[in-house]
Amino acid sequence: MKNASGRSAGPPFFVSDWNHSKFPITLLGHSLTYPTKSISYSAKHQNYEVTKGTDMMKRATLTAAGLILGTVPAFAATKGEVLTTYADIAHAGYEDSLTTAQALNDAVEALIASPSEDTLAAARAAWVAAREPYQQTEVYRFGNPIVDDWEGKVNAWPLDEGLIDYVDESYGGATDENPFAAVNVIANPQLTIAGQEVDASSITPELIADTLNEADGIESNVARGYHAIEFLLWGQDLNGTDAGAGDRPYSDFAQGDDCTNGNCDRRVDYLEASMDLLISDLEEMVAAWGQGGEAREAVMANEDAGIIAILTGMGSLSYGEQAGERMRLGLMLNDPEEEHDCFSDNTHRSHYNDGLGVQNVYLGSYTRVDGTVVEGPSLSDLVAEANADLDAEMKEKLDTTMTAMTAISDAAENGMAVDQMLAPGNEEGEKLMMDAIDGLIDQTATIERIVADLGLEAIEFEGSDSLDNPNAVFQ
């Protein structure tokens, strides 16, 4: 899994480059500013890695100097510029999600054309690679209704996978909440859902989107998106809280007598249809954040509301969603399926990239899958101008969280997957998870402080511009 990930922004590369210390002055600045342990990795470091020009060195040095003095902002950022950076990072993130999904589609087509251990492994690696940029965009969800309304189509979770394909006997059947938890569309061309006869003889994107997904209004009927595709590529992880991910045989996609577990032709149709949907869904979001796109326009329409959208996204993802729903709840339920990528055991990267996304939007810098950097005036710059101490506190807490996320990711890649961390009595795993949870909660408190701090400014400016002098807004 590790060498197959195809990731370009993972910590090991940067940590080693960073330690070779191309920019000793900057390193000095950081070491004075942050506790040593948090130097290991932060999104900022990526900038230095990929932008080696003299200007960047100057800027990096200035930034470090600013951090030392605690007074000099790196940029004199305006809110409009900060929002432009925010929208640009969104656009780049969704574009990277799209291109990596297209690469996944190529790998899936190769698997279908010629099912083998190798083509299945390549498709799985492409899925893992596609998750890297996508998870970094999750920070856009909660502050932007356009994203939040859409994201259920691509990243809904958790799912009752028995809706889609065969499952192990231990899975059980229908539940109180979901009578369709074990419908198995791939094996059943004729279905009854909520009293309606459904003709599933042909598995199309329309059938998945309009009939199966959230069938009968039940959230866990997730028929589309990354996790449906993940289930098709890996199958159920039947190892509980022991080592090992899903282990679907490649022959599940073979035709004729080689087909295992039945209905391979329908399984292939399902996989292709769900890939078509994923790509068209991502195209929609790339367009929404492009020039003139509705998500970009919405965030730019009112500068203060736009800044609040950034902070709302950071805080809601950090606290309620990630620390609470995805990490703490799984830990307290001790349930191996309560992990975000439960079939592939890639959850450590989802957690890591969610955290990184929060850091990206704060620092106004995103390293693309090709290694280039999208960056500009940032929320950090804006906060630093008003309150340099608060900006330093935010950066330090984001770093602390990322150190904890890195530890989870490293532990997983060294053999302790997140589902194993959730096992009752795994104290080491619990500590790894709790450190990240505590970091996320702690950074949320600082996000609240920033809201309060900027709130004062915002009201003052807005009051003078639009209320006291209505004409000012047209000037």
Partner 1 sequence: MRHLIYAAALIATPAVAGVEEAVNDYILPHLAAFTEAAEVLDDAAQESCEAEGLVGPYNAAFDGWMAVADVRLGPSEQGALSLSFWPDKRGFTERTLADLISNKDPVVEDQAAFEEISIAARGFFALERMLYDSQFNDYAEGDYACTLVRALTRDVVDQATALQAQWNDFAPLLLDPGSAGNTTYLDEAEAQRAIYTQILSALEFTKDTRLGRPLGEVARARPTRAEAWRSGRSLTQSVLATEAAVGLAEALADWELPETRAALDAVREQAETITDPSFQNIGDLMKRLDVEILQQKIDAVENAVEVEVGTRYGITPGFNSSDGD
Give the interface with partner 1 as residue ranges (CB under 8 A): 142-143, 148, 158, 160, 172, 175-177, 216-217, 219-220, 305, 308, 311-312, 315-322, 324-326, 328-329, 332-335, 424-425, 441, 444-445, 447-449, 451-452, 455-456, 459
If the CB atoms of residues 116 and 175 are measured against partner 1, the closer one turns out to be: 175
If the CB atoms of residues 42 and 318 are measured against partner 1, the closer one turns out to be: 318
If the CB atoms of residues 416 and 440 are measured against partner 1, the closer one turns out to be: 440
Question: 20 and 55 in contact (C-beta within 8 Å)?
Answer: no
Nearest to 43 by CA among 139, 110, 108: 139
- Residue 320 makes CB contacts below 8 A (sequence gap 6+) with none
If the CB atoms of residues 24 and 425 are measured against partner 1, the closer one turns out to be: 425
- Closest distance between partner 1 and the C-beta of residue 269, in Å? 28
- Closest distance between partner 1 and the C-beta of residue 177, in Å? 6
C-alpha distances in Å from residue 3, one per residue of 40, 124, 126, 166 = 21, 12, 12, 30
If the CB atoms of residues 53 and 424 are measured against partner 1, the closer one turns out to be: 424
If the CB atoms of residues 64 and 317 are measured against partner 1, the closer one turns out to be: 317
C-alpha distances in Å from residue 156, one per residue of 14, 153, 253 = 31, 6, 24
- Closest distance between partner 1 and the C-beta of residue 297, in Å? 19
- Residue 40 makes CB contacts below 8 A (sequence gap 6+) with 11, 15, 403, 406
Residues 27 and 29: their CA atoms lie apart, in Å, by 5
Of how many residues is the chain composed? 475
If the CB atoms of residues 234 and 319 are measured against partner 1, the closer one turns out to be: 319
- Closest distance between partner 1 and the C-beta of residue 422, in Å? 10
- Closest distance between partner 1 and the C-beta of residue 248, in Å? 22
Instruction: Look up residue 390 and give its DSSP letter.
Output: H
Phi-psi region of 81 (alpha: psi -120 to 50; beta: other; left: phi over 0): alpha
- Closest distance between partner 1 and the C-beta of residue 50, in Å? 33
Strands (E) located in 109-238? 190-193, 196-199
| Tokens, residue 417 | 């997957």
- Residue 234 makes CB contacts below 8 A (sequence gap 6+) with 124, 245, 246, 247, 248, 343, 344
- Residue 109 makes CB contacts below 8 A (sequence gap 6+) with none
| Tokens, residue 187 | 């094996």
Question: 254 and 260 in contact (C-beta within 8 Å)?
Answer: yes
If the CB atoms of residues 424 and 470 are measured against partner 1, the closer one turns out to be: 424
- Closest distance between partner 1 and the C-beta of residue 189, in Å? 26
- Closest distance between partner 1 and the C-beta of residue 246, in Å? 18
| Amino acid identity, position 402 | M
- Closest distance between partner 1 and the C-beta of residue 136, in Å? 17
Phi-psi region of 165 (alpha: psi -120 to 50; beta: other; left: phi over 0): beta
C-alpha distances in Å from residue 110, one per residue of 2, 16, 115, 451 = 21, 35, 8, 49
